[in-house]
Amino acid sequence: MTNIKLKNVSLNYPLYLTSSMSIRKAIFEFFLFKNKLVNKKKPKHIKALDRISIELKPGDRLGVTGDNGAGKSSLLRVISGIYPPTSGKVQVEGKISSLLDIFFGVNLDATGRENILIRGILIGLSKEKINEISDKIIEFVDIGEFIDFPLKTYSTGMKMRLAFAISIYITSDILILDEWLSVGDKMFVKKAEKALRERVSGAQIVIYASHSKQQIERICNKVINLKKGRISSYNDFS
C-alpha cells in the first residue's frame, strides 16, 4: 500500500571555512560522494532538518509551510530521494513524481520527442506506456515542428513547457510539489494549472510546500509548519 513514513529524520549540510570551497560545491560533493567529505578540513554543518517524523497514507494531502530557509524544500528532496538523510529513517512505498526539478533527465542535444522517451525510460516506464503518453504531451506542449528539433534550439519558455508537460503526464502514486509552477504565456499557464489540479486529484498522496495559506487550505487535509528545520506545529483537518 502506498505510504510515507519518516522517523527522526535529520539533514545536515556541510559548510567549509575556506575560500577554495564554495557552499554550492561543498553540498554537491557531499551528496555526490555519498556523505563522504572530500575536503580534509573539518567542516561546519547547517542543520536543514531536525528530527522530522511524519506518516502519510492514501488520501492524505500534506501542506508544508514555513519561512524561507525553514527546511521546506529540503524535506521534499529527502522524501523524493534526492538527498539522503544524515540520520533517521525514510520509508516510501509507491512511485513518486516530483515537480521539484522539472528538468531532471533533460538532454539538450536530443529532440523534444526523444526527451519524452528518455524521461520515461529513466523512471522505468514501459515502451507501451511511453508511446501512450507521448502524443498527449506533444499536443499539450503545442510547439509544432520544434518537437523534432534539439532542445538546444528551443527558447527558455519552450523548454519549460516541454519539461513541465513531461513531468505532469507521467503519473505516479505520490505527487510532490514546491509552489505552483508558472510556465509560458497566460493561456498555457491556465492550461498548466488545470492539468496540475487533475494530477493532484488523481494522486494517492500529495505533498505540497507553499507560502500561500489559501492554496494550502484548499488542497490539504494535513499541515505542518517548519521552523529552523523542525516541525513547530501540526494540524489534521481530516
Q: Which amino acid is at 21?
A: M
Instruction: Give the pLDDT band of residue 20 (cuts 50, 70, 90).
Output: very low
Mean pLDDT of the chain: 85
* Nearest-angstrom CA–CA distance, 138 and 147: 7
Tally of CB atoms within 10 A around 70: 21
Judge whether 110 lies within some domain.
no
Q: Which residues are CB-contacts of 156 (< 8 A; sequence separation ≥ 6)?
A: none
Structure-model confidence comparison of residues 190 and 53, the more confident one: 53
133 lies in some domain: no
pLDDT band at 172 (very low <50, low <70, confident <90, very high): confident
Query: What is d(CA 115, CA 95) in angstroms, rounded to the nearest whole number?
Result: 20
Q: Are 166 and 103 spatial neighbours (Cβ–Cβ below 8 Å)?
A: no
Query: How many residues does this entry show for the chain?
Result: 238
Residues 26-38 as b or e (16 or more Cβ within 10 Å = b): bbebbeeeeeeee
Considering its fold, how many domains does the chain have in total?
1
Instruction: Examine residue 85 and state whether it is found in any structural domain, yes or no.
Output: yes
Amino acid making up residue 92: V
The reported pLDDT for the residue numbered 54 is 96
How far apart CA 100 and CA 82 sit, in angstroms, is: 10
What pLDDT is stored for residue 113 in this prediction? 94
* Per-residue model confidence (pLDDT) at position 208: 93
Specify the 3-state DSSP secondary structure of 129.
helix
CATH of the domain at 71: 3.40.50.300
Q: What digits encode the pLDDT tens for the residues 221-234? A: 999 999 999 999 99
Q: What is the extent of the structural domain holding 83?
A: 3-95+209-236
pLDDT: which is higher, 139 or 23: 139
- For residue 158, tell me if it sits in a domain: no
**Model confidence over 207-221: pLDDT tens digits?**
999 888 888 888 899
What is the mean predicted confidence (pLDDT) over 34-48?
64
For helices 112-122 and 127-141, what crossing angle results, to 10°?
140
Residue 19, pLDDT > 60, answer: no
What pLDDT is stored for residue 18 in this prediction?
Answer: 43
Q: What are phi and psi of 104, to 5 degrees?
A: -60, 125
Classify residue 177: in a domain, yes or no.
no
Q: Would you place residue 16 in the very low, low, confident or very high pLDDT band (cuts 50, 70, 90)?
A: low
- pLDDT of 21 above 50: no
Q: Which residue has the higher pLDDT, 101 or 54?
A: 54
Over the stretch 46-98, which tens digit does the pLDDT of each residue have? 899 999 999 999 999 999 999 998 999 999 999 998 899 999 999 999 988 88
List CB contacts of 133: < 8 A, sequence separation 6 or more. Answer: 116, 120, 169, 170
What phi and psi, each to the nearest 5 degrees, are found at residue 102? -70, -10
For range 175-195, the mean pLDDT: 77
180 pLDDT band (50/70/90 cuts)? low
The answer to whether position 149 is within a domain reads no
pLDDT at 24: 55
Residue 60: inside a domain: yes
Is residue 62 in a domain?
A: yes
Can you say whether residue 191 is alpha, beta or left, with left for phi > 0 and alpha for psi between -120 and 50 degrees?
alpha
